[in-house]
Amino acid sequence: MFEIDTSIMLAGVIAGAAPVLLATLGETITERAGIINLSLDGTILLSAMTAFVVAYNTHSLVLGFSAAALVGGLIGLIVAFFSVYLGQSQVAVGFVLTLMTRDLAYFLGSPYARLHGPQALPFSIPILKDIPFIGSIFFSHSLPVYLSLAGIFICWWYLFRTPMGLNLRSVGENPAAAYARGINPGLHQLLYALCGGLLVGLAGATFSLAVKPGWGRPQGAEGTGWIALALVIFGGWHPVRAAFGAYLFAFLQIIGIYLQGWLPSVPTQVFQVAPFPLMIFTLLIISYAQKASDKIVPGGETLTRPAGHHGHRWLQRLLGLLTGDAPAALGQPFRPE
């Protein structure tokens, strides 16, 4: 009864993390360009509903996923447009859109609640699936899960290895300087709010067409958007670190399910809620580590810690690697004179 099949559990983590991971990657891209899209939570619901309804009516998963991505991209575009061209607050627009899209999803989706619809099924990748242990964890999933895995690498590569990614980051760091170098900051922000939104939309579709198939109220995706927003910060605006956070969160959720079976006397709500304070606790440790690593001067010697505490430094360094600074111009759009 107390045994866990590790590979099944880890495969569950990989699959369960897919939607939140996709949303986190999308938001990382958007925020790296300097736009905060706070509408994630509602956007995920609206795109989940759209995906289900479109796939149900057309019997096409591809159309379902595409429609959801379009919805997500459109909402990202609205946030960026209001900020860049109309000078409105990204935070205010994002909040209003969160509430609006959530209610819209429930309202428009109500005729489709509790229906049985199409679903993206897992398929194994030949050859790779036969690698012992790893094969069963990584290579027998549905398409959106593979997409989320590939997304980590693609995002990292695009942001840090291509000139287009460099331009993207320059806009988020200092749009005025980017403008001085002939880059159009507003256009870049619009484009990457759209790209980020597409991924958020795919996250919604991944819920209603794969991870928690179907539509209802509640759908089961509620709260994911807020977690994704926290994970972007937790991941220091870095796709690989953000992915680490997403998997940690999914792991905590799955452990909760297992614990429920082992400790039936504890109310189930405890396990459902536990991952959230645990994430906050982890964030605290990370930010503490960041403060500690800030005090390491370039020479490598800490000024603030007397000798004798050296034993903890490797831990500090390790945690220091997990942290990063926000793009300097996040949330502050730039308008040329």
Partner 1 sequence: MQIELKNIHKHYGPVRANDGVSLTIRPGTIHGVLGENGAGKSTLMKILTGFTRKTSGTTLIDGHALDIDSPAMAAQYKIGMLHQEPHDFPALSALDNFMIGRVSGISSHRKSHRSELISISTQLGFTLDPDAQVDRLTVGERQQLEIMRLLALNIRVLILDEPTTGISRTQKEILFASLKQLASDGKSVLLVSHKLEDVMALCDEVTVMRQGKVSGRMTAPFDVNQLLQMMFGTLPSPPVHQPAIPGKPILALKDITAPGGRAGLNNCNITIREGEIVGLAGLEGSGQGVFLRVAAGLTNPTRGQITFHDEPLNGSGYHDFKKRGGAFIPASRIEEGLIPGLTISEHFSLNEKQDRFFMTGKTALNQALKSISRFNIKGRPGMDAAALSGGNQQRLLLSLLPASPTVLLLENPTRGLDLGSGHWVWRHLQAQAASGSAIVFSSSELDEIMMVADRTIVFYNGAVVMDTPTHQADADTLGRAVAGGAVPQ
Residues listed for the chain: 337
**176 vs 186: CA distance, rounded Å:** 11
Secondary element (H or E) of residue 163 = helix 163-173
- Is position 89 an interface residue for partner 1 (rule: CB under 8 A)? no
- The binding track of 147-166 with respect to partner 1, each residue x by CB under 8 A or -, is --------------xxxx-x
Q: What letter represents residue 271's amino acid?
A: F
- Is position 178 an interface residue for partner 1 (rule: CB under 8 A)? yes
Strands (E), 143-252: none
**335 vs 128: CA distance, rounded Å:** 50
As measured in angstroms, the least distance from the Cβ of 92 to partner 1 is 19
How many residues sit close enough to partner 1 to count as binding (CB under 8 A)? 28
**197 vs 102: CA distance, rounded Å:** 16
- Is position 293 an interface residue for partner 1 (rule: CB under 8 A)? no
**69 vs 81: CA distance, rounded Å:** 18
Give the residue, chosen from 111, 277, 298, 311, that forms a contact with partner 1 under the rule CB under 8 A.
Answer: 298
Non-local (6+) Cβ contacts of 251 within 8 A are 13
- The binding track of 306-325 with respect to partner 1, each residue x by CB under 8 A or -, is -------------------x
As measured in angstroms, the least distance from the Cβ of 327 to partner 1 is 8
Non-local (6+) Cβ contacts of 75 within 8 A are 37, 39, 43, 46, 97, 101, 197, 200
Give the chain's radius of gyration (CA, Å).
21
As measured in angstroms, the least distance from the Cβ of 175 to partner 1 is 10
Are the beta carbons of 196 and 29 closer than 8 angstroms? yes
Give the residue, chosen from 295, 309, 312, 317, that forms a contact with partner 1 under the rule CB under 8 A.
Answer: 295
As measured in angstroms, the least distance from the Cβ of 184 to partner 1 is 8
State the Cα angle at 137 between 131 and 142, rounded to 5°: 110
- Is position 167 an interface residue for partner 1 (rule: CB under 8 A)? yes
Give the residue, chosen from 181, 264, 307, 308, that forms a contact with partner 1 under the rule CB under 8 A.
Answer: 181
Q: What letter represents residue 208's amino acid?
A: S
- Is position 189 an interface residue for partner 1 (rule: CB under 8 A)? no
Give the residue, chosen from 102, 141, 169, 188, that forms a contact with partner 1 under the rule CB under 8 A.
Answer: 169
CB of 145 or CB of 168, closer to partner 1: 168
CB of 130 or CB of 294, closer to partner 1: 294
Stretch that binds partner 1, among 57-65, 124-132, 228-236, 295-303 (CB under 8 A): 295-303
Non-local (6+) Cβ contacts of 273 within 8 A are none
Judged by CB under 8 A, the chain residues 206 through 245 that form the site for partner 1 are: none
As measured in angstroms, the least distance from the Cβ of 299 to partner 1 is 9
- Is position 177 an interface residue for partner 1 (rule: CB under 8 A)? yes
Stretch that binds partner 1, among 21-29, 117-125, 132-140, 293-301 (CB under 8 A): 293-301
What is 224-265 written as a DSSP string?
HHHHHHHHHHHTTT-HHHHHHHHHHHHHHHHHHHHHHHH-TT
CB of 59 or CB of 312, closer to partner 1: 312
Give the residue, chosen from 37, 39, 170, 224, that forms a contact with partner 1 under the rule CB under 8 A.
Answer: 170
As measured in angstroms, the least distance from the Cβ of 269 to partner 1 is 42
Residue 193, number of CB atoms within 10 A of its CB: 30
Residues that bind partner 1 (CB under 8 A): 161-164, 166-167, 169-170, 173-174, 176-183, 295, 297-298, 303-304, 325, 327-328, 336-337
